[in-house]
């Protein structure tokens, strides 16, 4: 984790559910995240890589689902996830004009890892999602390279995850840097500096009462969210139910940045949601859809020019690529328990968005464009948030 503060460090606690140990997507066992940041004056961009599981995800696919809240986006690979309900590669996040290059590099990585692809078996579905960082970044220069993409994947691959070790003891997961890192280096959120944010929630699911038992037993599962935030208008910002946007705006001098508050929203947000809860792909899609609740709680109204996409996965019900069984047996959550992950998805998404703002730093990019950081105002607006 970077040393930058998160929203809880300011005394702001979102929701009622308990977060995971690191309050990150990497609290989900086996999930890993890494960034490569490309930051040099007018170049403010990068790549974020997410490994949905610790081993080979092509040979051991995870359950996947997509919810396109608003489809103003240029992602690659979502169509097959929607159709088949599985994910078979790492997930990459980057800027809009680097999607094709990132997909090509990801295919290269998958071919190296899986010599059977395209020979004794089918091809591969690379997953790359994007937001437009062109306000701060020289996006036309296409400064993300194949080397950056492969480095991000390798960093994620070698990161520690919270899978139990050989002794059965839990391994400390590697926390996720937030704010102006990786794909988030040049992103804006609510006309402030945005970027990468993450959060998690523990889901306690009670089991049926066995004969002779007085109380039902329960099992704990983890849902984690990572967001790439590049959306919203400053005057709409809400923190923990308080409409704080107008107050933040009033604290800034009336320069050209402040005068843009009535400009149309043309940003985006990518939400990657992972969990180890046993669910079907249909249930997973329903859970993914609840991320929109978290977005709205921060002030988003899902503008027409905003590409808002949720990509969700569950590590509980895998699909072996070379499985020759006629039938697979999966465990799925009782429909009566779905409110538990629904709330977890909403809370984790809301907090992840706020973490992306709280952790981000002031940034000046191309042509003198800049974004101020929410943290530069939080100390002054805390009295409003606590009343």
Instruction: Find residue 233's DSSP bridge partners.
Output: none
Active site residue 161: no
Rounded distance, CA 382 to CA 44, Å?
A: 30
Active site residue 268: yes
Query: Under a CB-based contact definition with an 8 Å cutoff, are residues 267 and 231 in contact?
Result: yes
- Which of 114, 202, 107 lies closest to 150 in space, CA to CA? 107
List the catalytic residue out of 177, 180, 200, 268. Answer: 268
Active site residue 104: no
List the catalytic residue out of 4, 75, 306, 356. Answer: 306
List the catalytic residue out of 27, 133, 138, 308. Answer: 308
Q: Which residues of 32-52 are buried (b: 16+ CB within 10 A; e: fewer)?
A: bbbbbbbbeebbbbbbbbbbb
CA distances from 309 to 8, 94, 190, 229, 288 (A): 26, 14, 17, 11, 9
Q: At what angle do helices 339-359 and 375-385 cross, to 10 degrees?
A: 130
Residue numbers annotated as active site: 268, 306, 308
């Amino acid at each position: 984790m970077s040393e930058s503060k998160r929203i809880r460090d300011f005394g702001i606690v979102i929701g009622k559910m308990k977060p995971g140990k690191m309050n990150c997507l990497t609290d989900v066992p086996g999930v890993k995240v890494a960034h490569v940041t490309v930051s040099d004056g007018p170049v403010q961009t990068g790549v974020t890589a997410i490994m949905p599981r610790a081993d080979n995800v092509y040979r051991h696919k995870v359950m996947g689902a997509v919810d396109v809240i608003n489809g103003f986006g240029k992602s690659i690979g979502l169509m097959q996830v929607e159709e088949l309900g599985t994910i078979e590669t790492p997930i990459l996040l980057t800027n809009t004009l680097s999607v094709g290059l990132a997909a090509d590099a990801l295919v290269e990585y998958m071919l190296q890892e899986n010599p059977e692809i395209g020979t004794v078996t089918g091809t591969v579905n690379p997953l790359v999602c994007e937001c437009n960082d062109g306000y701060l970044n020289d996006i036309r220069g296409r400064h993300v390279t194949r080397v950056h993409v492969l480095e991000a994947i390798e960093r994620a691959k070698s990161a520690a995850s919270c899978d139990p070790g050989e002794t059965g003891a839990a391994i400390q997961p590697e926390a996720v840097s937030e704010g102006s890192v990786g794909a988030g280096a040049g992103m804006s959120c609510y006309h402030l500096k945005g970027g990468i944010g993450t959060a998690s929630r523990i889901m306690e699911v009670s089991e049926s009462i066995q004969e002779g038992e007085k109380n039902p037993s329960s099992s704990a599962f983890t849902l984690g969210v990572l967001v790439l935030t590049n959306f919203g208008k400053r005057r709409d910002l809400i923190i923990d139910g308080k409409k704080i946007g107008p107050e933040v705006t009033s604290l800034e001098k009336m320069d050209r940045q402040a005068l843009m508050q009535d400009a149309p929203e043309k940003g985006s947000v990518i939400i990657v949601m992972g969990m180890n809860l046993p669910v079907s792909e249909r249930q997973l899609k329903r859970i993914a859809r609840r991320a929109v609740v978290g977005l709205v709680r921060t002030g988003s109204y899902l503008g027409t020019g905003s590409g808002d996409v949720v990509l969700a996965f569950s590590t509980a019900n895998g699909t072996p690529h070379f499985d020759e069984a006629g039938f697979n047996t999966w465990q799925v959550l009782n429909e009566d328990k779905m409110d538990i992950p629904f709330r977890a998805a909403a809370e984790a998404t809301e907090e992840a968005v706020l973490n992306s703002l709280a952790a981000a730093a002031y940034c000046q990019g191309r042509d003198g464009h800049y974004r101020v950081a929410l943290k530069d105002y939080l100390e002054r607006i805390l009295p409003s948030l606590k009343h």
